[in-house]
Amino acid sequence: MTDLQIIITILVLAAGTLLTRALPFLIFPAGKKTPVFVKRLQVLLPSAAIGLLVVYCLRNVDILHGSHGLPEGIAIAVTAGIHLWRKNSLLSIGLGTVCYMVLVQWVFK
C-alpha cells in the first residue's frame, strides 16, 4: 500500500469507529423514551449471542471419533454450573475456557 492509501484507510476506519460510537447518542438522545424494540433487544440479545457461540463452538465436534466431545461437554457443564451458581458471565466464561484448555491440552491429549 502507498502512504496515501494507508492514510485514507486510517481515516476511514477512524470515521467508522467514531460513527459507531456516536450513533446511539444521536438516535436515542437523553430524555427521549427508549423504543420498545430496543428494550426487547436488550433482553433477548445476550441469550441469542451465547446460543450462537455455543453452536459455533460445537459445529466441528465429532462424537464418533477421538474424545467423543467429552472435553466440550465437560467445559459446557462447568460454564453453565458456575454461571448458575455465581451469576457472573465473565467468571463462568473465563473458567469454562480454562477448563476446556486444560482438558484439551493435558487430559484428552
| Cα 82 to Cα 91: distance, rounded to the nearest angstrom | 8
pLDDT at 89: 86
What are the angstrom distances between the C-alpha of 33 and each of 21, 26, 54, 74, 88? 20, 13, 34, 44, 29
* Each residue's pLDDT tens digit, 52-100: 988 998 999 998 988 899 999 999 999 999 999 999 989 999 999 999 9
Band (pLDDT 50/70/90 cuts) for residue 9 is: very high
Predicted pLDDT at 109: 83
Question: Do the Cβ atoms of 41 and 58 come closer than 8 Å?
Answer: no
Distance, CA of 55 to CA of 7 (rounded, Å): 39
What is the band of 2 on the pLDDT scale with cuts at 50, 70, 90? very high
**pLDDT tens, position by position, 29-46:** 888 898 999 999 999 998
Residues counted in the chain: 109
Q: What is the Cα–Cα distance from 97 to 65, expressed in whole angstroms?
A: 22
